[in-house]
Each structure stands twice: as structure tokens, then as C-alpha cells.
Amino acid sequence: MTEAGWISSILTAARPHAVAALLRHFRDLDLAEEAFQEACLRALKTWPTNGPPRDAAAWLIMVGRNVAIDTVRRRSRLQLLPPEELISDLTDAEAAVAERIDEADYRDDILRLLFICCHPDLPAPQQIALALRIVSGLSVPQIARAFLVSEAAMEQRITRAKSRIAAANVPFETPGAAERFERIAAVAAMIYLVFNEGYTTSVAEHGARAALCEDAIRLSRLLLGLFPTEPEIMALAALLLLQHARAPARFDSQGRAMLLEDQDRTMWDRRLIGEGLALIDKAVRHGRPGPYQVQAAIAALHARASRAEDTDWTEIDLLYGTLERMQPSPIVSLNRAIAVAKVRGPADALAMIEPLASKLGGYFYFHGARGAFLRQLGRNEEARVAFDRAIALANTPAEAAHIREQLDRLAGGAAL
Amino acid sequence: MQYAILCYHDEKVTCAWSKEHDDAVMAKLGAVTEKLERAGKLGPVARLLPTTAATTLRKDRVPPLVIDGPFAETKEQLLGFYIVDCASLEEVIEIAKDLGEANPGGAYEIRPVGVFFPGKLAS
């Protein structure tokens, strides 16, 4: 590994811990980030000769603090002396490194940092952009590429998010049990958003966006490391791992989207599946079910089936039924209908989704699924209308191409 | 004499590796182990998945206690390991309980295996 390579891995790994602690110290996101950047520059200068410190995060926090204190001094030249609580923290960085900080000491800091990124005042795209910038440390151009927007637009989005956060006045006290739980739930939802942002992709943009999935997995492992006994967090990590395991098989060599049942399952990543299955098994043992556990259990049933025809659709139907009760949503019902079609046939599935038309009329998957059920029932004319509607609503070229294939099959079938 | 080489590293760092980086590291290690394998010196090799996926069975009490997370007591030392092939975590825990009954005290840390080569050592 090159020198810059090992240092950058260590810096990336230490980033959430260090930025979170610096944020608590300075109570200012920009200053915390700036301090961390400056500490990283010093690390790049001194680590190659001195070797990395035993506790990289602690080193970066100490150096970052000292650096930012200089900045604060420069900014407030009119003030003769820096505030006293800042002076008292001027400890020798290397001395502090000797004492390793416990993971638990960082827990509420990191949770706060993650929570700030998914503050309810921020719209979802700003949440994701802020988390990727602040916590994962992706550069603005990298994030802009993943979102398919210009760098200037992304810069603006992040700046706007930061000023909203500053205005929102997030408390810095240690959160109470109830508040901590709310924060964990909000952070879990944000991590899932980051993942989905990367997962909703076509092959052309696969590289830049797949990185978002990997970052979401890293964030979920980080959150699980902080709260190792929370079954819903185990399940969130499991869900992301099991879904991402299928990434290598989601598109064929021509870049066409492959349905789950058509994927080459030998291409699934066994290592991610192993980790995901262990996590969902662990979560279920707690006997405290929740929506992430149900979703991860569904993903696990797909992962355990080595051939599409081995899939336990009866169990999947039951699990979607449970999810419908926990978290009623037309999207969940639509997904359940796919399982119902396998277990009880397309007529039952179609009857199940017809009432959803008013809510899901503008949704690509609704018309795609409806078209497929109609085709299985031999109602080809209606199927064609549904597929045309789906193409008009497709979000990516791959989605449209997939539906066109269905239409081709329909045309082929009609000609026979 | 057979030796076990136990691998330690900061998991936060290895989990921060990109897939390309991880693959490159595995390829370099593969070049080393290939030579050992040709020389008939290599036994089983396993890469464990992150400790967030770990479960620990404390067998110093009856009934034994199953807890989330890795084993982290520094007053006890790693004395050996088993590799078992199971369909579910439940099954592994049952096996660990049977072993624990045969040899109470201490703990078993249960970790999913990510990469496994059986190796070719004569026992």
C-alpha cells in the first residue's frame, strides 16, 4: 500500500469520531470541519516520518482543537484574549494520545453529528448531501457526481443545509433516553435514504452511485458499533448488506436491469450475505420485532434461495403482511402483491393492487407490476396500456428498457 | 509444530477500505499464501466478518448467557477455535452451548466467516 493510501484509510476511519468531538467542542459545524481538515494536513506531514499515533482519532481531535483555536483568535482580533475555556484545553496532543478514549465516550457525540445531518428541518436531499460531506468526508465534486448535479448546485445545497442547522439550534447536552432513541430512529432513516439514493441507479452511473451504498453500509456499521444491542440497527445493517450483495447481478453485460428472479445468483457477494444473515439472525433473537427486521428478513429469504424457484414466497407474503400492519403504505402492499402473485396467482394479486391506483397512479413500479399481472392473465391489451404508462413514468433508461422488453414479449406472444 | 497466526487490525480502518483497495490487499496476501500452499505449509485460513456481526456465549454460568457483540475481556486469552458449518446463528449457538457444557468457564465468541480456504496440511 502506498503511504498516502494507508494514511487516508486511517483518516477516513477516524473522521466521524474526530469531527463529532470537535463539533461538541466548538459548537460550530464549519469550524469543526475546518479544524479536522487542518489536522489531516498535519497528519500527512508528520505521520510518514513519526508513524501513525496509536489512537488516530484522539490525535486528530487534539491537533484540530489547537489549530481551530488559532483560527478563533485570528477571527476575533479585537478580543485581547481567547475565551478561557479554550485556553485551558491547550494540552500537548501526543500526551493525550497515550490515553485511549473509549468508544462509548464518542457515542453521543457521533449520534449528535449524525442527527444534525438528518435534522427534521432539512429536506431529504440536503440530509443525504450533508451526511456524505460531513460524516463520510466525500468531496463536493464526488457528491455532485453521485447526484448528477453541478458542483456549484451541490455546494449551494450543502451551504443551505448548514445555515438551516445553525438556525435550528441543536442542543449539545447529553440526550435523555427518549431523545436518544428518537435520534437513533431518525439517523437510521437517513442512512437508509443514503443507501436508496445509491441503489436507484442505472448501469451508466453505477460507479459514482454505488459508492453511496458502500457509505451507507459504513454508516450503519458505525451506528451499530455505538448501539450494539439494538435489534433494529442490526436489521438496518443486515438489510443494506443483503441488498447490496445483489449489486453485481443487477445489470447484465448490456446494462439492462435484471429482475431478481432472472439474476445470476452466483454473482451475489457471499461475504456481504454472510454478514447480513448473521445480523438478522442476531436481531430476531431479541424478540422485539420492527420494520427493519421484517424487511431484512424478506431480503434474507431471497439471499438464502440459491435458485429463484427455491424462494419461500409464502413466508415473504406473511412478512409483507406483518410490515403492512406495522407500517401501512401502498408501496408495501404493492410489494406484497408480487408475493401474492407467486403464492395465490395473478388474479388475487391484481385484485389486491387495483384499489391502490389512486395513490400509486404516478408510480413506475405500480404500472409495471400491474402490466405483468395482466399479461399473466392473458389480458394483453390492458397489459400493453399499463406497460406504456410505466415507460412514461420510468426514472432511468434501464427501467424503461426493462418494460420495453416486456412489451416485446407481449408482441411475441400475440403473434404466436 | 503447527502455529496459528492470529490477525489483528483496527476494524474501523479495514471497513473504510474501498472494495478495490480490499481486493488489492487480498490479492497481495494471496500471492504470499500461494507460495506457502505449494510448499505444503498452509493449513486453514479464515477471514472473519466485522465484530458488529458477532455474538458471545458466556459459559461461566448456568444457563450460559448469549450477548450481542464481540468478546472483549482482556483477562481471558484466545486459546483456540472451531470452524463449523451451520444454516443459522441459532444452530451455532446450540453447538457452542454443547461445547460449553463439556468445558465450562470463559466464553465463546461466534463470528461469521467471510473467506475460507481449507488448506492442505496433513494432521
Task: Give the model's pLDDT for residue A202.
Answer: 56
Task: Give the model's pLDDT for residue A93.
Answer: 43
Please give the backbone phi and psi of residue A69, each rounded to the nearest 5 degrees, phi first.
-60, -40
Three cell numbers at A92? Answer: 500537548
Q: How far apart are CA B88 and CA B112, in angstroms?
A: 10
Q: Answer yes or no: is A193 within a domain.
A: no
Amino acid at A228: P
Q: Answer yes or no: is A10 within a domain.
A: yes
Highest mean pLDDT pick, A66-70, A353-357, A404-408: A353-357
Q: Exposed/middle/buried for B31, CB within 10 Å: 0-12, 13-18, 19+? A: exposed
Q: Answer yes or no: is A160 within a domain.
A: no
Q: Between B10, B52, B67, which is nearest A13 by CB?
A: B10
Residue A88 has pLDDT above 50, yes or no: no
Q: Answer yes or no: is A220 within a domain.
A: no
Confidence of residue A91 (pLDDT cuts 50, 70, 90): very low
Question: ipTM score here?
Answer: 0.84
Q: Answer yes or no: is A69 within a domain.
A: yes
Supply the range of the domain harboring residue A29: 3-101
**Which pLDDT tens digit goes with each residue over A35-54?**
999 999 999 999 988 888 88
How many structural domains comprise chain A? 1
The label of the residue with cell 484574549 reads A81
Task: Give the model's pLDDT for residue A415.
Answer: 41
Q: Between A221, A229, A277, which is nearest B68 by CB?
A: A229
Q: Which residues of chain B are modeled with pLDDT < 70?
A: 123
Q: Between A5, A237, A274, which is nearest B114 by CB?
A: A274
Name residues whose C-beta falls within 8 Å of residue A208's C-beta, 6 or more positions apart in sequence. A142, A145, A146
Q: Between A and B, how many CB-CB pairs are < 8 A?
A: 69
Q: Answer yes or no: is A52 within a domain.
A: yes
**Which pLDDT tens digit goes with each residue over A16-30?**
999 999 999 888 899
Q: Answer yes or no: is A74 within a domain.
A: yes
Q: Answer yes or no: is A59 within a domain.
A: yes
**Stated length of chain B:** 123
Q: How far apart are CA B96 and CA B99, in angstroms?
A: 5
A2 in contact with B, Cβ within 8 Å: no
A54 in contact with B, Cβ within 8 Å: no
Range name among A85-94, A117-126, B103-112 with the lowest pLDDT average: A85-94
Q: Give the Cα-Cα-Cα angle A275, A279, A285 (nearest 5 degrees).
A: 150
Q: Please state the domain extents for chain B.
A: 1-43, 44-118
